[in-house]
Amino acid sequence: MKEVQVNEIQELLNSFANKDVYIHLETTNGAYATHFDEKVFNAGAFIRNAKIRFELAKIIDDTPHRVGLKMEHGWVYAQGITHYKLDEKGRLLMAGLDYTGKLAVALEISETPFTY
Amino acid sequence: MTLQPQRQILVVFPHPDDEAFSSAGTIRLYRNMGVPVTYACLTLGEMGRNLGNPPFATRESLPEIRREELKEACKHMGIDDLRMMGLRDKTVEFEDDEKMVKLVTNLIDELNPSLIITFLPGYAVHPDHEATGRAVIEAVRRIPKDERPTVYAVGFANNTLAEVGPPNIEIDVSNVKLDKVNALKAHASQTAWMIEESTKRIDDGRPMSDSWLHFERFYHYQFED
């Protein structure tokens, strides 16, 4: 993955619009967060291989970046995106890595299902 | 304490590297004695957070990296029977409970282990660890009392000492410390930062204590009935 380039990601997002796509959306502060610091309230969520269709997608040029996908009946939203890659399977993998290199958020879009 | 003789050992943990931190030395010592060891690793740690910055992996490539790291770590521990069980990181506790018990029961039926190493339910911190320990304990509990294998359980929650007391099994793994370090190093995606910090502190003349590399500690699980 390389650091976000807004124009490139915007073009890639556009290429998935108005198609049935699978997404992986995840936010996490790690399973050990409370073990290491009892003051941390540990929350996180992920959804994998949800099939959606969006009509409009935007990446906002801020640091870290935000990505929003507008669907017929709702939204997909991710804040904190720092890196991305179009992988060898044509999947757009976006991630937000914190200052120590740990994943804090991920939004991935693919025309085929992700592995299990 | 001296190692108890064993016929066959079954190690059950959910993530590649759980075994290296907790048991690599013990496993290596038993392998050096010729005791067969099977490691059932339930997931590939697909949801690991450390991807590096700059990143060395993606959410999608991490499992394949960890699969190779696990195989490499097994070489250092001398494990030649590695089973990757195909579950997904973070989801073990949501699998059907009976299916999880069956998974362990099938391994026990096949291997007839005299010792099982796993996590201590209630004191294993990560939900996958807890679910793994629960499944193993339940599978063993269902075996007639006088046929049950011994269970060594790993507990490391912050309240473990206060509530359970000190571990009653302490194995001196000093003689195989290098193998343990190499097993940990093999899990580079998970441990590189730790190895780096340790090296830096040695360079700075304030080395981290390595006493945790000399002893592995377990709770000999006691069944109530």
Whether A81 is in a domain gets the answer: yes
Name the average pLDDT for chain B.
Answer: 94
Count of helix runs (H) and strand runs (E) in chain B: 7, 7
Task: Sort out which chain A residues have CB atoms less than 8 A from B125's CB and list them.
Answer: 31-32, 35
Which ranges constitute the DSSP H helices of chain B?
18-32, 62-77, 97-111, 127-141, 160-164, 177-186, 188-203
Instruction: Write the pLDDT tens digit of every residue in B160-182.
Output: 999 999 999 999 999 999 999 99
pLDDT at res. B208 = 64
pLDDT at res. B200 = 72
For residue B204, name the pLDDT band (cuts at 50, 70, 90): confident
Note the pTM of the prediction, 2 decimals.
Answer: 0.93
pLDDT at res. B192 = 86
Distance between CA atoms of residues A36 and A83, nearest Å = 27
Q: Domain of residue A29: give its range.
A: 2-110
Which among B15, B17, B18, B49 is the top mutation candidate for probing chain A, defined by the most A β-carbons within 10 Å of its own β-carbon?
Answer: B49
For residue A38, name the pLDDT band (cuts at 50, 70, 90): confident
What single-letter amino acid sits at B221? Y
Q: Is the pLDDT of residue B201 over 90?
A: no
Q: Which of B49, B61, B193 sits opposite A30 (nearest CB)?
A: B49
Q: What is the mean predicted confidence (pLDDT) over B115-127?
A: 97
Q: How far is B194 from chain A (nearest CA, A)?
A: 12
CA distances from B94 to A72, B73, B97, B98 (A): 31, 28, 8, 11
- Higher-scoring residue by pLDDT: B221, B201: B221
- Higher-scoring residue by pLDDT: B192, B40: B40
Residue in chain A closest to B86 (alpha carbons) equals A116
* B131, B92 Cβ separation under 8 angstroms: yes
Q: Which of B59, B63, B125 sits opposite A106 (nearest CB)?
A: B59
Across the interface, whether the CB atoms of A28 and B47 are under 8 A apart is answered yes
Which residues 153-182 of chain B have a CB within 8 Å of chain A? 157-158
pLDDT at res. B3 = 92
Across the interface, whether the CB atoms of B53 and A30 are under 8 A apart is answered no
User: Please, how many CA atoms are within 13 Å of residue B182, restricted to the half-sphere of its CB?
Assistant: 13
In terms of C-beta density within 10 A (0-12 exposed, 13-18 middle, 19 or more buried), how is residue B16 classed? buried
**Interface residue B52 vs chain A (CB under 8 A):** yes
Helical packing angle, B62-77 and B188-203, nearest 10°? 70
Instruction: Write the pLDDT tens digit of every residue in B38-88.
Output: 999 999 999 999 999 899 999 999 999 999 999 999 999 999 999 999 999
Q: What is the mean predicted confidence (pLDDT) over B149-158?
A: 97
Q: What is the mean predicted confidence (pLDDT) over B95-110?
A: 98
Residue in chain B closest to A100 (alpha carbons) equals B53
Q: What is the mean predicted confidence (pLDDT) over A66-77?
A: 98
Q: What is the mean predicted confidence (pLDDT) over B145-156?
A: 97
DSSP bridge pairs for B38 = B10, B81
* φ/ψ of residue B94, rounded to 5: -95, -5
Nearest to B105 by CA among B95, B116, B94: B116
CA distances from B35 to B31, B99, B114 (A): 5, 29, 10
Query: Regarding the domain delimited by B9-220, which CATH topology (the fold level of the hierarchy) does it fall under?
Result: Rossmann fold (3.40.50)
ipTM for the complex?
Answer: 0.91
Which among B17, B42, B60 is the top mutation candidate for probing chain A, defined by the most A β-carbons within 10 Å of its own β-carbon?
Answer: B60
Tracing tokens 């969006």 back to the chain, one arrives at A54
For residue B1, name the pLDDT band (cuts at 50, 70, 90): low
Task: Sort out which chain B residues have CB atoms less than 8 A from A28's CB and list them.
Answer: 47, 49
Q: Is the pLDDT of residue B183 over 90?
A: yes
Distance between CA atoms of residues B151 and B142, nearest Å = 13
Count of helix runs (H) and strand runs (E) in chain A: 2, 9
The 8-class DSSP code of residue B224 comes to: -
CATH number, domain of A93, equals: 2.70.180.10
pLDDT at res. B18 = 97
User: Please, how many CA atoms are within 13 Å of residue A11, restricted to the half-sphere of its CB?
Assistant: 6
Distance between CA atoms of residues B48 and B62, nearest Å = 8
How many domains is chain A built from?
Answer: 1
Q: What is the mean predicted confidence (pLDDT) over B114-136?
A: 97
Q: How far is B162 from chain A (nearest CA, A)?
A: 15
Whether A115 is in a domain gets the answer: no
Distance between CA atoms of residues B187 and B76, nearest Å = 11
